[in-house]
Chains A and B, each alone.
Chain A
Amino acid sequence: MNPVLRRSYSEATARQRVAALMDPGSFRELVPPADKCTSPHLDAFRVPVSLDDGVVIGDARAAGRPIGLFAQEGRFLGGAIGEIHSAKIVGLIRRAIRVKAAAVVGLLDSGGVRLQEANAGEIGVSEILRAVFDARAAGIPVIGLVGGASGVFGGAGILSGCCDVLIVSDHGRVGVSGPEVIETTQGVEAFDSRDRALVWRTTGGKHRYLLGVAGMLVDDDLDAFRRALAETLEQPPRPPVDGVERGWQELERRWNDWGACRDAVEIWRAMGIREPERIPDLDVAAVRAARPRRGERP
């Protein structure tokens, strides 16, 4: 694609992403900024509030289908999850179940639980996860998109793991413990968070796609995300009845096969990818072509 025509997803705000990804004019925001539903907990820490508490929610259409949408604003406190933020997402998902939406779509961009309201955020994440599993049990797929500057870490990383489908860009990052957290708690020899190449090889979208954590890899482009979402909505995933068992077996195999690897390049080599050290330099299309198909693993 001509880079000039691209509009960066990672540099867009949550509201710009919503406008670009939803069918024109279809988005109806719930609990909009005019409601001034802000965090009651930040003032004690002298932290300014945001009128949407860092998440935009509402009914929308994407690829012609009615969906429930939430979009985290990674620019507000790193998209961190507190009482209001989590309640908006829980309400949106339960609403999607009530109105039998075609899908729940989450534009995830969050470092996890908000420290200033850590207990509310932690419980809130758990409530979001319960709602996600309820939606999936009701036959409503939950689709996560990751390409924002905050990535998904902590509770948001766990949320991304509970989605039916994860769409990431090569700018997206997915993890549980962020590199800085690991370095702070385990020491720089465990993880040098200033080694940017190491950070990207480990948490970046390309590795997450090759590993199977994400099902789709797209360019850092609003239109690429819109098309990937449309494709997913047109052929929604049908989780097999024994999906939990299959997932467990796959994860055990992953641990047995690659648990001794110390670097993503070792894993890529073990997958049978030729010239794995070139992966960080390849464009998205080339990385997609390099991923071994299911069952082709040597």
Chain B
Amino acid sequence: MTLLDLLRDLFPLGHSVTAAGPLVTGSARTAAGEAAVVGTTGSPALGIPLLLDLGRCYRRILAETPARPIVLLVDNSGQRMGLTEELLGLSQYIANLLAWQDLARRRGHRQVAVIYGRAVAGGFIAFGLQADRIAAVPDAHVAVMELPVVARVTKLPMEDLQALARTVPVFAPGIENFYAMGGVHEIWRTDLAGHLARALREADGQDTRAALGAARGGRKLAAGLVDEIVQAPLCSNR
């Protein structure tokens, strides 16, 4: 889905969202109130300058519009893979953007991510996967690693992988797979504005993705195992 189509369908009540290069910022009216908007367009790889820019957007939102909900528009082709990024410590740049998102959550900003383009690997972890609610439009693409690369690394034939991908959601790219695993809360096929308003009202800061994955059958064991570990009694010699 193009950014223009998305903005039209997501914010029919009006918005001031603009793109400057890959960076998308602005504010929009929704049925759940005014929302800050931050995102990317053109499926950029998230390198250091863009990560700093996204952090700068969060910084301004937290300073100027306390507790205003934030809509994250997600379209990236992963973290930027390069010598410069690694030399300067990309892990800390991604961690800092995650820390901004966490700080926003603790200050009462509800965050809803809408994947409208691509969401790939470290780029998805950095921006999108950490929101309170994660939604995707049907033609969005979510991937950790594309199948030909998986085939090369696992040394399994592509045909075998493709057959396997039809029966289990655990490794192959695709929105439906992430939905089954609980990594995408909702797929919005129509009435994006209505869905967004509802998601903004429902977002509560609890991480329920493991339970969703169990209910949907894609990730049957994680939620139960987490609970078992949290609740196990303490040993007396502590």
Contact = CB atoms under 8 A, between A and B. Distances in A.
Interface of A: 26, 28, 30-31, 37, 40-41, 44-45, 57, 59, 61, 66, 83-84, 86-88, 90-92, 94-95, 98-99, 113, 115-127, 129-131, 133, 137, 152, 154-155, 157-158, 160-162, 174-177, 179, 181-182, 185-186, 190-191, 202-203, 207-208, 211-213, 243-245, 247-248, 251-252, 254-255, 258-259, 261-264, 267
Given A45-B156, A182-B82, 10 more contacts: A84-B225, A113-B144, A122-B144, A127-B210, A152-B91, A158-B98, A175-B91, A176-B94, A202-B83, A254-B89
A123 B221 CA distance: 14
Contacts of B232: 30, 95
A75 B90 CA distance: 25
B96 A118 contact: no
Nearest to A264: B87
A190 B83 contact: yes
15 contacts: A30-B229, A84-B222, A87-B229, A115-B153, A115-B154, A119-B177, A122-B124, A158-B122, A162-B95, A162-B98, A175-B91, A186-B82, A191-B82, A202-B87, A211-B88
> Chain A CB within 10 Å — which of B87, B122, B126, B153 has the most?
B87
B32 interface: no
B116 interface: no
B192 interface: no
> Chain A CB within 10 Å — which of B48, B220, B226 has the most?
B226
A86 B87 contact: no
Contact of A175 (B86, B153, B168, B237): B86
A123 B82 CA distance: 24
Interface stretch (B3-11, B13-21, B66-74, B100-108): B100-108
A181 to B, nearest CB: 6
B238 A66 contact: yes
Given A31-B225, A213-B91, A123 B182 contact: yes
Contacts of A119: 144, 169-172, 177-178, 181, 183, 218
Interface string B218-238: 111111011111101011011
A116 B164 CA distance: 11
Contacts of A86: 222
A45 B172 CA distance: 13
Contacts of A255: 48-49, 52, 88
B109 interface: no
A84 B106 contact: no
Contacts of B223: 87
A181 B221 CA distance: 30
A44 B168 contact: yes
Contact of B94 (A44, A115, A158, A186): A158
Contact of A90 (B121, B210, B213): B210
B130 interface: yes
Given A90-B226, A259-B88, A120 B170 contact: yes
A123 B83 contact: no
B145 interface: yes
A66 B218 CA distance: 35
B145 A118 contact: yes
A177 B79 contact: yes
Contacts of B170: 41, 83, 116-120
Nearest to B143: A118
B91 A87 contact: no
Contact of A45 (B103, B154, B219, B238): B154
Contact of A115 (B100, B124, B145, B207): B145
B81 A247 contact: no
Contacts of B237: 26
> Chain A CB within 10 Å — which of B48, B86, B121, B181 has the most?
B86
A258 B229 contact: no
Contacts of A129: 98, 125, 130
A158 B99 contact: no
Contact of B91 (A176, A186, A244, A262): A176
B238 A127 contact: no
Interface in B52-67: 52, 55-56, 59
Contacts of A116: 154, 170-171
A88 to B, nearest CB: 7
A25 B82 CA distance: 45
B162 interface: no
Contacts of A181: 81
B171 A248 contact: no
Interface string B137-156: 00000001100001001101
B129 interface: yes
B210 A87 contact: yes
A176 B90 contact: yes
A158 to B, nearest CB: 5
